[in-house]
Amino acid sequence: MRSLYLKISASIVLIPLILSCSSENSPKLSEQSLIPMPVSVTATDSVFELDENTAIYAQSGNEEVKNIAQYLADRLNPATGLDIEVKTANDASVAGSIHLTLTDADTTLGDEGYELTIATSGIKLLAHQPAGLFRGIQTLRQALPAAIEKSEKQSGPWRIPTGTVRDYPEYAYRGAMLDVARHFFSVEDVKRYIDLIASYKMNVLHLHLSDDQGWRIEIKSWPKLATYGGSTNVGGGKGGYYTQEQYSDLVNYAQSQYITIVPEIDMPGHTNSALASYPELNCNEKDPNPKLYEGIEVGFSTLCTSKELTYKFVDDVVRELAALTPGPYIHVGGDESHVTPMEEYIPFINRVQDIVQSHGKHMIGWDEVTNASLKPTSVAQYWAKAEYAQSAAKQGAKLIMSPAKYAYLDMQYDSTSKYGLHWAAYIELDSAYNWEPSTMVSGVSRKDILGVEAPIWTETIADMDALEYMAFPRLPGLAEIGWSPKSARDWTQYRDRLGKHGKRMEAMGIGYYPSKQVVWEK
């Protein structure tokens, strides 16, 4: 009774105080530097504050919602030190709490949309599907002070401006690609990258698992691929590979953040590591026993497309990978097969497409695969040639847009960048942001496009510091291209939001490139 009295009297005193500081000190919800920009934000001039009474209520009887609630608690507890608990909606509700609920009533939110309502009395997050709750939590994180991202207790206060965010993605596929073949990245590194892309509402991690320089996934029927083919990196070093258990661990980790893993085995080119492991897959008479390769040339290797053994190999690899991969896609590369004659390349890709389908998956390939006959369920990834993108659209296949000139995160920012290549372009933040998938290639329109993806190739990128420096802050810009409606995207306004977002990336421990194009708020 006494504590209730204290609480009531305290709130009578506190509410006017909070209200007054809201209008003077706190930004409005519509002024928060949210990235990607939501579909709609309506601010009401007040604040909600996390405190000792805050709990997270998950819809009862739904384990998945409970796990998402726990994910939110784990994001909030280190910095606030509040020990926010997860309860179920059956527990007596306390004012000042956060409620996560799935609703059948609001199907317009789709698979990933959400509605986040922040009031002084509490927070409600609604979605049609669990993934929507997860995406909405990313908005809630960004509506809190940047220090919420720190791993040690900070002083607070933990205020959120009130209002409503109603939001859903423009594109169904919003991906990042990580090349673990040129330089191997550990399971822990990949998990960190998953955490980072998830916070910008991306939903695909494409792993480039094989290339001339390394084979990074255990294939039980062809064991030397990993043990020998995975034993080096560009420039030397010990390389590495994921065991099937480790790969499954990554798949599950990604899944818990509503991210689909798309595994890529590049073929028929970019296969030197496989050819070195199993020379019988080769029919290059000049070099029948290729060695492991540590350089960065491309386009010199090919599987022997005229041998039946090659198709047994492809079938085994795709079968094992498909069994480990719950997502719908297997990426088969198909790029830069410069030493595979086109009359062999086309039937090879057609046959590989059938193999992928026979294992219950859809094929994705780099844009060159449009030389073959694509099924309408196959997807082409545009990176270089407009005519190939046009051919995909004509064939009725969907496209993932990754134009190297804008979307490649391994391109240098400018001529002084410490890492990266620049064969496609120097890509400063404005050009990384200022492109529009639906008008990029004439003959390719919105309806042909499944989504966007930001690849990072790792010829010059050997560790997480280099990776984060190249990916940030261009990756959040690409995430916005994929998520936000075209009408909500504007470079100068994005640049200002990004400037305020710098301290959040710092709190997340991201060593980003502090581009001079942006005024970074300290």
Residues 170-209 touching ligand NGO, rule: CB under 6 A, are none
In the complex, the smallest distance separating the C-beta of residue 457 from ligand NGO, rounded to whole angstroms, is 3
Q: Which residues contact 155 (CB under 8 A, 6 or more apart)?
A: none
Q: Of 372, 378, 367, give the one whose Cα is nearest residue 328.
A: 378
Task: List the one residue from 172, 283, 421, 425 that touches ligand NGO (CB under 6 A).
Answer: 421
Residue 49's CB is within 10 A of a number of other CB atoms, namely 15
Candidates 19, 119, 298, 346: give the one binding ligand NGO (CB under 6 A).
Answer: 298
Per rule CB under 6 A, is residue 57 in the interface with ligand NGO?
A: no
Q: Are 448 and 172 in contact (CB under 8 A)?
A: no
Q: State in angstroms the smallest separation of the CB of 459 from ligand NGO.
A: 6
Q: Could you say which residues in the range 433-492 bind ligand NGO, by CB under 6 A?
A: 457, 459
Shortest distance, CB of residue 296 to ligand NGO, whole angstroms?
Answer: 8
Residue 152 vs 297, nearer CB to ligand NGO: 297
What's the min distance (Å) between Cβ of 204 and ligand NGO?
Answer: 16
CB of 402 to ligand NGO, least distance (A): 8
Among 366, 413, 419, 494, binds ligand NGO (CB under 6 A): 366
Q: Which is nearer to ligand NGO, 459 or 468 (CB)?
A: 459
Amino acid letter for position 368: E
CA atoms within 13 A on the CB side of 104: 0
Is the Cβ of residue 85 or residue 336 nearer to ligand NGO in the bound state? 336
Applying CB under 6 A, among 91, 336, 430, 496 the residue interacting with ligand NGO is 336
Q: Tell me which long-range contacts 497-501 makes (C-beta under 8 A, separation of at least 24).
A: 497/33, 497/34, 497/35, 497/37, 498/33, 498/35, 498/429, 498/473, 499/33, 500/33, 501/33, 501/35, 501/142, 501/473, 501/476
- Residue 164 or 337 having the CB closest to ligand NGO: 337
Beta bridge partner(s), residue 148: none
- DSSP run (H or E) holding 509: none
Q: Which is nearer to ligand NGO, 241 or 408 (CB)?
A: 408
CB closer to ligand NGO, 269 vs 502: 269
Q: Does 335 contact ligand NGO by CB under 6 A?
A: yes
Q: Are strands 40-50 and 158-167 parallel, antiparallel or unpaired?
A: antiparallel
Query: Residue 383 or 472: which CB sits closer to ligand NGO?
Result: 383
| Closest to 41 measured CA to CA, from 198, 161, 203, 169 | 161
What dihedral do alpha carbons 137, 138, 142, 146 form, nearest 10°?
A: 100
The three-class DSSP label of residue 253 is: helix
* Residue span 212-251 as binding mask against ligand NGO, x where in contact by CB under 6 A, dash where not: ----------------------------------------
Q: Residues 273, 300: contact at Cβ < 8 Å?
A: no
59/341 Cα distance (integer angstroms): 58
Collapsed DSSP state (helix, strand, coil) of residue 149: helix
Interaction of residue 383 with ligand NGO, rule CB under 6 A: yes
Residue with tokens 């209520």: 57
DSSP secondary-structure letter at 107? G
Nearest-CB residue to ligand NGO?
A: 457
Q: Which of 410, 448, 453, 468 binds ligand NGO (CB under 6 A)?
A: 410
Instruction: Name the minimum Å distance from CB 366 to ligand NGO.
Output: 5
Residues serving a catalytic function are: 336
Total residues binding ligand NGO (CB under 6 A): 10
Chain residues in the site for ligand NGO (CB under 6 A): 298, 335-336, 366, 383, 408, 410, 421, 457, 459
